[in-house]
Amino acid sequence: VGSHRDISLESLSLFRLLEPQIEILVLGTGDRVERLHPTMMKQMRECGIAVEVQDTANACATFNFLMNERRVVAAGLIPP
C-alpha cells in the first residue's frame, strides 16, 4: 500500500486474520486524513474490528495510547 487509494478489502484482509483478534485498527493515511470507502469500514465492523482513520502522526499517537491501555490494537501506517 503506497497511498490511501491503495487501501482495499484485500489489503485489509491481514488484519482480519490476526490472532488474537484485534479490537481496533488504526490507519494512518499520510499527511492528511483520507476517507475510506464505506464498504470497507462496514466489512471491518462486521468482523468485529473498529477502524480509526487519522493522519499518520495522530495515528501513531492513538496506537501508542491504546497499547498503553492494553487494548488489542493494530496499525497500518502510510508515511507522510
Give the global pTM: 0.92
Q: Per-residue confidence of the chain (80 residues) as pLDDT tens digits?
A: 989 999 999 999 999 999 999 999 999 999 999 999 999 999 999 999 999 999 999 999 999 999 999 999 999 999 99
Q: CA-to-CA distance for 80 and 27, rounded, in angstroms?
A: 12
Closest by Cα among 63, 8, 64, 19 to 41: 8
**Could you tell me the domains of the chain?**
4-77 (3.40.1230.10)
